[in-house]
Structure 1
Amino acid sequence: MAVYFPLQGSQTSDIPSNPQMHPDIEECPDSPNCIVVSKRFETEADQLYEFLEKAIADLNPHESEADLSELKIKSVFKIPLFGFKDDVLAIVEADGANSVVHIKSSSRVGYSDLGVNRRRVKKIFRKLESYLIVLNNSD
């Protein structure tokens, strides 16, 4: 008897996003193990970058390198059970008084990621939004 297990990959259908893409971010391959999401926030770029850096750090990346001058964060997450590595690139882009966050999360190996990258991006945005709510409530 065969058991069917859907190999759902990372899809953007359940993440509300602005489809803009930053020129420093390469497109995802055709395989469902990568996601790129852009989202606009009504916050200045420096403040948003600070919260983005904290949100990513809260997820305990294996490695992380932040570049304040370019408002860019490069992180590597290691999947505990198998040791596979996923790359995350996050860039904050100023847009007047607003800002846009671009995040790419992609697996280095394999075809499907079983939705790991999609869930990671959702967690980053949830944490980022929670920090912004606290900031706005303190005003």
Structure 2
Amino acid sequence: MLINTVFAVALFLGIGIVGLASVSWFAKKPASLGVTEQGTLHPCGGKPNCVCTFEERASHSIDPLSSIDGAEPTVLRIIQDVIEAMPDAKLVDMRQDYLHFEFRSRMFRFVDDVEILWNRQTGTVHFRSASRSGHSDLGVNRKRVERIKRSLQAELRKLE
């Protein structure tokens, strides 16, 4: 009886883990990536698993970094170095003022997209971080962007 119960629990957990992992394996790259025609990052959808500096809804809004002076290659290179130093970060797209990274969670390999847009005219760094799958992210994307901002500010202070 005990062996059957242990086997049933192990089977249930195994199926659950495979099910969760398959969600991340088949999560497609969303169409809401990149810079819009208006020169902004896309707004978040309706799920509480995204933050963006262009959002007006408090649940999705996060402050940009302002007054970042410097030549484009230097600022973008520092941003890239800061993010690539983070665990599970992978640069997947780099354009003139735009960077796109994928972060994969260690256990279930869920993908989060992190986008950076630097406005050279205003010296503002904008952020968008969103989970590809699931509903809630338990604040992971907000915490990640705040960590990126702190690290970026520390690196930029070294240049002063």
**Equivalence for 1:33:** 49
The Cα shift of 1:71 comes to: 1.9
Q: Please give the per-residue CA displacement for 1:96-132, whole angstroms capped at 9, x wherever unaligned.
A: xx51111110000111000100011011101100101
Q: Answer yes or no: is the 8 Å Cα contact 1:93–1:101 preserved in 2.
A: yes
1:49 aligns with 2:73: no
Q: Which amino acid aligns with 2:50?
A: C
Q: 2: CA distance between counterparts of 1:39 and 1:30? A: 25
Q: Are the counterparts in 2 of residues 48 and 99 from structure 1 also a CA contact under 8 Å?
A: no
Q: Deviations over 1:28-68 (max 9, x none)?
A: 0121100012221241251321211111111134421352x
CA RMSD, Structure 1 to Structure 2 (Å): 2.0
Residue number among 83, 86, 92 corresponding to 2:109 in the alignment = 83
Q: Where does the alignment leave 5 or more consecutive residues of structure 2 unmatched?
A: 1-35, 54-63
Q: Distance in 1 between matches of 2:42 and 2:52?
A: 9
Question: Higher helix proportion, which one?
Answer: 2
Taking CA–CA contacts closer than 8 Å with sequence separation of 6 or more, which of the two structures ends up with the larger relative contact order?
A: 1
More strand by share: 1
Structure having the higher Rg: 2
| TM-score (ref. length: structure 1) | 0.73
Letter in 1 for 2:138: L
Q: Percent identity?
A: 28
Give structure 1 regions of 4+ aligned residues with deviation exceeding 6 angstroms: none
Question: Which ranges of structure 1 fall in alignment gaps of 5 or more residues?
Answer: 1-20
Query: What letter corresponds to residue 136 of structure 2 in structure 1?
Result: S
How many aligned residue pairs are there?
Answer: 113
Residues 45/36 of structure 1: CA separation in 2 closer, same or farther (3 Å cut): farther
